[in-house]
A = this chain, B = another copy of it.
Amino acid sequence: MDSLDRKIIAALRVNGRATYADLGRSVGLSASSVHERVGKLEAAGVITGYHAVVNPSAVGLGVTALVGIQPTDTAEDDDVAEALSQLDEVESCYAVAGDEAFVVKVRVSTVDDLERALSRLRRIAGVARTRTTVVLSTRFEGRANNASLDSPSVNSGA
């Protein structure tokens, strides 16, 4: 990964639909070179995908909550995570340090749906308690950290 790769990545984080020709113009390479580099970045697992971002309210998901999951004494983390992944409302799932095993992000339409989702979460085997933090507004989300792209990365743990 050199500085050109980092520039290409930064550009694709801003606009995931940028054409190779566009990218080439902005980094000073031919479209075919960019194509080659992007292919390698994808193959190396540096770029893991491209996704359209949708306004959650516009698709009827106006309610967001962060939920800490406290496990029972005998809970198997992997089983709990698997069960969490089965629930459509759970958008993200982080295994965390502390007395909670996971923190998940839940998105639903209404507070009624939130209530139902929480009761579903609590019924998962291995879940002892949940602690819910309701999101009042999303100030920003999923922003690129460009600090990491300005300087060569030491850690290539792809």
A50 and B48 form a contact (CB under 8 A) = no
Q: How far is the CA of A142 from the CA of B97 in the complex (A)?
A: 21
How many interface residues does chain A have, given as a range?
Answer: 35 or more
B residues in contact with A9, CB < 8 Å: 52, 54, 59
Q: A136-B97, A148-B61 are in contact. Are A16 and B17 (CB under 8 A)?
A: yes
Binds B, one of A24-32, A102-110, A119-127: A102-110
Task: List the B residue with the shortest CB-CB distance to A62.
Answer: B155
B96 and A134 form a contact (CB under 8 A) = yes
| Of B62, B88, B91, the contact of A157 (CB 8 Å cutoff) | B62
B158 and A57 form a contact (CB under 8 A) = yes
A12 close to B (CB within 8 Å): yes
A60 and B139 form a contact (CB under 8 A) = no
A34 close to B (CB within 8 Å): no
Q: A13-B51, A50-B53, A97-B133 are in contact. Are A60 and B153 (CB under 8 A)?
A: yes
* Chain A contact residues, CB within 8 Å of chain B: 1, 6, 9, 12-17, 44-55, 57-62, 64, 66, 81, 84-85, 88-98, 100, 102-103, 107, 109, 133-149, 153-158
5 A-B pairs closest in CB distance: A60-B153, A12-B52, A16-B50, A57-B157, A93-B139
A/B interface sample: 12 pairs, CB < 8 A: A9-B54, A13-B54, A15-B51, A17-B17, A47-B52, A48-B54, A49-B53, A51-B53, A60-B148, A88-B146, A97-B134, A109-B148
